[in-house]
Amino acid sequence: MKSHRTLALLLVAPFALACSGSGTGTQVLPDDVVDGATTDPGVDPGTGPGDTSERDGGQDSATDLAADMATDPSSDAPAQTDVVVSDPGSPPEGCDVAYPDRTIGMRICRPGVEGGYVLFPHKHRGDVYLIDRLGRVVHHWSKSQYEPGQSCYLRDNGNLVRAAMLKGASNIGGGEGGRIEEYDWDDNLVWSFNYATNEYSTHHDFKILPSGNLLMLAVERKDAAAAAAVGFDTTRLQDGYVAPEKVIEVTRTGSDSMEVVWEWHVWDHLIQNKDSKLANYGNLAENPGRLAVDGGAPAFWNHANSIDFNAELDQIVISARSHNEFWVLDHSTTTTEAAGRTGGTHGKGGDFIYRWGNPQMYGAGTAANRMLFNQHDAQWIQPGLPGAGHFLVFNNGLDRPGGNTSSLDELVSPVLEDGSYPTLAAGQAWGPTSLFWTFVGNPPASFYSSEISGTQRLPNGNTMACEGTTGRFFEVTSADEVVWDYVNPVANAGPMAQYELASLDPKTHPENAVFKTHWYPADFAGFAGRDMTPGTVLETSDTTCPVDNPSYTCKATADCTAAGGTDVSMHFTCATGGSCCQKLVQNTTPPQP
């Protein structure tokens, strides 16, 4: 467990140069499908930090990519997408400030930031906040009695849909969740249902479909006998059972009810090569669309943590943290087809039609070819945005070779014109083997969240990040400049005072941790006719010297410089008299996120 002092340095130090500095974002062109055993992964030297027009997927990128792909007969270039980068326009009034010494709230807001609003749920309360770019509260939902479980989103009518956690309703061990709630703009509960027993439970994330249905992550319990029947070594099951992933699509049937209208189960798509008497025996390298059975596993075997939907392709992407990869599924199947290996638009039933991040999982490559490390929030960049159709993921970086560091990773999808993906030879891996763009801290360790977290591409070409375990949200340009930086100022007991530090929760995360955020434009349909007048900021004012913050100390005014302090902050007061000094350790050049 980190000490309170250590956390203070982690939460404060990285931001003092954010108004001027950059990370080490890099934009390069990806390789296509290659033999994972022979190709080195990572970011190619490429062009270095690219501007937004390059990252758009312009003609040069597409031409070079097509030329590379032409050398492999199993591959075609992905369809080019014409994207017009929107003018970010004028930043919010007053958005040309930086307060690098602040520990919470809005600390940086620079010209070039995208306007709009940021939605985020508190990690341990029922509160959900909508803030503007100056950190002012525009709307607040507070009626729920449940902690999040974990995501929340807005419908086009302005209603808030949130996943909630049912404590004690399920002991299946598959993440937090079990309940969905929908509140109108006035915080009235208009729909809710529970989906949690000792046999199944929803968890983590969901997606609102164009139809209004919800696409949801869930787990289901499989006992030792069921696990043995598909090839698990039951003596190595860490919890005596396993809870694999499934996906359910639900439609509303009443104010407190729903109906499952489609489902998919990873259990139907397992493969193993240990026991030829079992029905799922086969050669993994020849079946990249199926998931290998591990010899041993925890109950929460797959640990999926995000789900996204591509309406144009009618495909689903799931981030499977335990496997360090994401999976793409064909949603055009019926439930019956999704249980098999045929049917649907692409004729593969419920098998993966693409997967990326860790080719060892399907018998291709080595550990050196792994690209994802306990990632979250895998998604398609939305139509009309720079990089539309590419995949974007928050790569947490836990157990990353060379050290634990996070990154925002963008990769070109090798999808073909018909929405399918290249056919692989046995032992061949799906590409790309390099990233189109990535952002890391400078130094790398200054940007890190071991768990939770999220990301999102914005209309102006910038990218939003939620560094979940620290409760920090920031917006970075394609030139790696951090133009907005905010730290959630709400702890378990409520809003904190500026310069106060959050206590730790049972997971040793600060209490202001956030699962992930979601950005909405000012012209979002759900805001039409609403009062969007910003109120005050969430954090409270406190003019006493924050003696519990190791960045500051009370000393006689004349002693501040001699004691190593370089900033006499006269807006603070000291109970013993004198001045509040900022310590030198926090006034030197800190790492840039």
What is the model's pLDDT at position 569?
65
For residue 456, the SS3 value is strand
- CA torsion 225→275→360→379, rounded to 10°? -40
pLDDT category at 8 given cuts 50, 70, 90 is very low
What is the model's pLDDT at position 167?
85
Q: What is the largest CA-CA distance in the chain?
A: 83
What is the model's pLDDT at position 34?
38
* Burial environment of residue 315 by CB neighbours within 10 A (0 to 12, 13 to 18, 19 or more): buried
* Burial environment of residue 209 by CB neighbours within 10 A (0 to 12, 13 to 18, 19 or more): middle
pLDDT category at 38 given cuts 50, 70, 90 is very low
Asked which of 65-74, 494-503, 554-563, 573-582 is least confident by mean pLDDT, the reply is: 65-74
Total residues belonging to the chain: 593
What is the model's pLDDT at position 216?
98
Task: Please say whether the beta carbons of 103 and 498 come within 8 A.
Answer: yes
More confident: 133 or 581: 133
Average pLDDT, the chain: 83
Domains in the chain, start-ordered, CATH in brackets?
A: 4-527 (2.120.10.30), 543-593 (no CATH)
For residue 65, the SS3 value is helix
What is the model's pLDDT at position 19?
32
Radius of gyration of the chain (CA): 24
Q: Which residues contact 562 (CB under 8 A, 6 or more apart)?
A: none
**84-113 pLDDT, tens digit each:** 333 333 567 778 888 877 889 999 999 999
pLDDT beyond 50 at 584:
no
Q: Are strands 518-520 and 494-495 parallel, antiparallel or unpaired?
A: unpaired
Rounded-to-integer distance, Cα 55 and Cα 287, Å: 33
For 148-180, letters b (16+ CB in 10 Å) and e give bbbbbbbeeebbbbbbbbbeebbebbbbbbbbb
Does residue 111 have a cis peptide bond before it, meaning omega lies within 30 degrees of 0? no
DSSP type of residue 197? -
What is the model's pLDDT at position 23?
58
pLDDT beyond 60 at 512:
yes
Containing 518, the helix (H) or strand (E) segment is strand 518-520
pLDDT beyond 90 at 63:
no
Q: What is the mean pLDDT of residues 336-346?
A: 98
Which range of 51-65, 288-302, 438-452, 544-558 scores highest in mean pLDDT? It is 438-452
Rounded-to-integer distance, Cα 388 and Cα 52, Å: 12
Task: Please say whether the beta carbons of 396 and 460 come within 8 A.
Answer: no
Q: Are strands 315-320 and 325-330 parallel, antiparallel or unpaired?
A: antiparallel
For residue 552, the SS3 value is strand
Rounded-to-integer distance, Cα 227 and Cα 268, Å: 12
The pTM of this model reads: 0.83
What is the model's pLDDT at position 578?
77
More confident: 10 or 303: 303
SS (H, E, C) 105-173: EEEEECCCCCCCEEEEECCCCCCEEEECCCCEEEEEECCCCCCEEEEEEECCCCCEEEEEECCCCCCCC
